[in-house]
Amino acid sequence: MTIFLIVLLIALSVWLLYIGKAWFAWVGPLALGLGIWWLRSDGPGVGWWTCAVLASAIFLTLGLAPLRRLIVTGHLMRMLAPIFPKMSQTESEALEAGTVWWDKELFSGRPNWKMLTEFKVPGLSQEEQAFMDGPCRELCGMLDDWEIIRSDDLPPHIWDFLKQNGFLGMIIPKEYGGLGFSARVNGAVVARVSSRSVTAGVTVMVPNSLGPAELLLHYGTQDQKDHFLPRLASGEEIPCFALTEPGAGSDAGAMTSTGVVCRGQYEGREVLGMRLNWNKRYITLSAAATVIGLAFKLSDPEGLLGGEQDLGITCALIPANTPGVVTGERHDPLGVPFINGPTQGVDVFVPVDFIIGGQANAGKGWRMLMQSLAAGRGISLPGQACGAAEITTRTVGAYATIREQFNTPIGKFEGIEECLAPIAGLTYTMDAARWLTAGAIDAGEHPAVITAICKAYMTEGMRKVINLGMDVVGGAGISRGPRNILARAYQALPVAITVEGANILTRSMIIFGQGAIRCHGHALEEMKAVADKDLKRFDKAFFGHIGSFLTTFTRASILGWTRAMPASSPVEGPAEPYFKKFERMSAAYAVCAEISMMTLGGTLKRKEMLTGRLADGLAWLYLGTAALKRFVDDGQKERDLDLMQWSAEHALFEIQTALLGLLDNLPNRLAAFTLSMKLFPSYSLYKAPSDKLNARVAHSILDGGEIREFLSPEVYIPESGELGLGALEAALARVVAAQPVASKMKEAMRAGTIKKGRIAARVEEALSAGVINDDEVAILEAAKQARWEAVQVDSFGEAKQVPATEWSTAKADAV
């Protein structure tokens, strides 16, 4: 009976921890145990009183906050203070930029699924859809990417079209002459234009991303908005933003561009101004820009502004025709001819009012940039990544259907299926994350961690999709020319990987570094309390942290050992088990993150291989749950089931791989062993998508099926006479139309009616045997001709044929 009661009390504690009642998890069972002891004994003996006194002392010490702070918390605060990481000013401002959203739920270990499933991402407005179907489609029809590559720039009529139709002012409100579009259509426009021409896509992207317009909208004075925004919207002003320097890339605090507050002459009058010197590089649109957004370190040695001498990073708008400004040179970003180059400034004097937001924003530039980047990273580059993934999916789905080897479409070979499945699956996942993130931004969120995830992992997804696509199309992908559909996207891959926070930096430092503190329920409060020496605040945060960890650890262990059976799901149907699995991995992730921070403290900041794996885990939690939401929002259609399963299983496997890799390398081996046993028992491990699932997903984009259309909604389809995608689409239609005829011939070969061999070689025999008729012969011939045209590659130079007599002489000489 005693053993039964002990087990019962332990089970009660575990249950209370599982449901999040950490305080009652020890107080309740303790009180109940003492009560049972009293009832089962003749009366309270010495042992009972001893336990009761000890329990009361513990209860009073830990349960009464004033007493706890006096006896316990003060010592803990002094002991733990050195463990918390120290942050520079730029790190602190970057950390506090933006908001937290669904990432916080995932980090908690117990995500509120209703928050995700009840969040509605609206479709495009009627006006936005009209823009996609009108000017955006018309622009794509005008673009000739091969000519753009050869001429090293967009032609003048394309620049004019972009200006006249508002492409450069999509984010600028209508009252200033812009289009006032949502983040959703902004990303959709970038996706469509980029899928047609990377150069045009980047040119559209930059004015609508981090730059003068974005900064003016949030921080500019009314006079600055009234002057610049209408000019930017119409294209009268072309903007660029200059941040990166030779010695200051990821470490913006190392920038050497300077501004000194002083008095000087500007346009014939003496004003309070700044004398600027800068040397920037990698600046997109620099050679075309008429106004330069400039980041520099501002100082006020004479105290003319009445404050500190070293004011810090500041942002200003500098007219490109100001004396001392140097522009015009261009970099060559891997042969993709969007305008990108250096800019310098030598003793450039401008009024202090050129600071974005005026004098009041002197020294606030880094915070402004981080706040703007918190949203911008989630729109433009994810849009470009999805455009590249969509065009790749559409291309390889057609090419693997058309291209035959050994009398079989290459898409039916398992080696090709192994490439096609992740191409389709990642495209589905990335597009789901893009729409969810854009919807959050349109709802007023600035989710800094999520947008960093989108930038890094969606551009990495683009890299994987395009690389696999290049493997599928083989020589057709490496032979440049107007027929080549994927080469320009392949060339431009490293650009997207590098800009707006290089992926190595974003993964290893930003995502978890920012996420661990912003998304954690208590860490930021603890850090601030220690910095401010606020004992009361630290006490509340620290003991809340302990309770949260105990409940999360208990839940994660139970979910691991039960294969997530007790976990919750907001829906029924095929998505239900996957919601439960993601809840399990959210709990496991939260525990692994906690143990990493507890055992390593401030040194975790420098363990970038570990923080990179923690970033991987959080990123795939977001990407996987975004795919689940898309499936549910679309009505859990049978059509999309394989895509959802592939996306979810791939994400779960990636999360598990990241966390097991973390535990394999965690310095505290006892903690790592304990977590491995508790969270990841061998019978409860997840596997990557199976070969059968890979095959089904791969086949879904072959033969011109519905899924291929579903996965490439933004891709512009040119006329059938255009080399490249136009010809490929036309050939696909003819090949698919010929498939029933080819099937009849193959059946006749199996029956022995006609000899076995290549379809093209047995047409006449099949016609003579009555297997096919004349109309079907014409269908096969049309397919054969279209297939032949579609698999051709470009060649250049003047073809020369050796005359027959010369060839004979040459042959004789050789012999």
Which token pair is 441? 């931004």
Amino acid at site 398: A
Sequence-distant (≥ 6) Cβ neighbours of residue 466 within 8 angstroms: 388, 389, 392, 486, 489, 490, 493
Nearest alpha carbon to residue 449 among 461, 437, 463 = 437
Q: How far apart are CA 210 and CA 768, in angstroms?
A: 68
Angle at 757 between CA 753 and CA 758, to 5 degrees: 120
Tell me the backbone φ, ψ of residue 347, rounded to 5 degrees: 50, 50
Provide DSSP, 235-246: TSS-EEEE--BT
Q: How far apart are CA 495 and CA 333, in angstroms?
A: 7
Q: How far apart are CA 629 and CA 436, in angstroms?
A: 9
Q: How far apart are CA 187 and CA 506, in angstroms?
A: 21
Which token pair is 691? 């070969």
Q: Report the 10 Å Cβ neighbour count for 88.
A: 10
What is the residue whose two structure tokens read 């259509």?
185
Strands 408-409 and 404-405: antiparallel
**Residue 789 is a catalytic residue:** no
Nearest alpha carbon to residue 503 among 441, 461, 446, 440 = 461
What is the residue whose two structure tokens read 């990303």?
187
Beta partners for residue 316, in sequence order: 294, 355
What's CA 575's distance to the chain center, in Å?
A: 23
Length of the chain, please? 815
Task: Please report, for residues 12, 33, 36, 458, 602, the alpha-carbon distance to residue 39 in angstroms, rounded to integers and kept in the order given.
Answer: 19, 10, 5, 63, 50
Strands 291-299 and 239-242: parallel
Q: How far apart are CA 68 and CA 80, in angstroms?
A: 16
Beta partners for residue 241, in sequence order: 293
Does residue 277 contact residue 350 with C-beta atoms inside 8 Å? no
For residue 272, give the H/E element and its range: strand 269-284
Nearest alpha carbon to residue 170 among 140, 220, 209 = 209
Does residue 552 contact residue 587 with C-beta atoms inside 8 Å? yes
Q: How far apart are CA 580 and CA 578, in angstroms?
A: 5
Which token pair is 247? 């010695």
Q: How far apart are CA 80 and CA 64, in angstroms?
A: 21
Q: Report the 10 Å Cβ neighbour count for 439.
A: 18
**380-402 vs 487-498: helix crossing angle, rounded to 10:** 150
Please, which contacts does 112-116 make with residues 24 or more away whose CB atoms are closer than 8 Å? 113/568, 113/569, 113/570, 113/579, 113/583, 114/570, 116/570, 116/625, 116/629
> 245, 460, 500, 526: which is the annotated catalytic residue?
500
Q: How far apart are CA 205 and CA 483, in angstroms?
A: 26
Does residue 114 contact residue 570 with C-beta atoms inside 8 Å? yes
Catalytic residues, which ones?
500
